[in-house]
Amino acid sequence: MSLLTGWAGCACRSRRRRIDERGFFLVEVLALSFLVLGCAASALVYRTLARSRVEAAAEITAAYLAQEQIARIEAQPASYLRTHGEIPWLGGGASSVEKNGISFTLSSSVSPRADTESLAETEVRVRWETGGRSREAVYRKFVAYHD
């Protein structure tokens, strides 16, 4: 075997190896791209779910606050309900309630029914802001006058 033949054999092998490995870098880049896109999609879904969880928790808190206000209104005597059209937050303090880092503003009204003197319609409005959006929920219930 001559020296020339040995060099030629090595040159062919290295050239053949380069030809075989030519597409391998593209496959790596595509796999890495899909991995990065998957991570980004997961982060987007996580962020959306976290925002949805906060909004749902705020809506549930608003419902509980309204139920509490309605229960307190029902406990008031007829003389109080007949003299007050607008009723402040009966839970104590100001009309603004701080729960779970969100400020809820409550306003309540009692209006007597025209068809009967023993019932009044109670309306409780709860306002709050989450994620830069202002939200409002309205709850209504008939309340019986009692002494």
What pLDDT sits at residue 101?
A: 87
126: left (phi over 0), alpha (psi -120 to 50) or beta: beta
What pLDDT sits at residue 17?
A: 61
pTM for the full predicted model? 0.70
Question: 127 pLDDT exceeds 70?
Answer: yes
Q: Are 131 and 53 in contact, with CB atoms under 8 Å apart?
A: no
Please report which confidence band the pLDDT of residue 82 belongs to, taking 50, 70 and 90 as the band edges: confident
Nearest to 61 by CA among 130, 142, 145, 133: 130
Domain count, the chain: 1
Least confident of 5-9, 25-29, 90-94: 5-9
- Three-state secondary structure readout of 111-129: EECCCCCCEEEEEEEEEEE
Question: 123 pLDDT exceeds 90?
Answer: yes
Element (H, E) at 13: helix 3-20
Give the range of the structural domain holding residue 94, as residue numbers without chain letter: 3-144
What pLDDT sits at residue 134?
A: 93
Tokens coding 124:
């409780």
Q: What is the pLDDT of residues 16-62, one digit of tens each?
A: 665 555 556 888 888 999 999 999 999 999 999 999 999 999 999 99
Cα(5)–Cα(1) distance, rounded to whole angstroms? 7
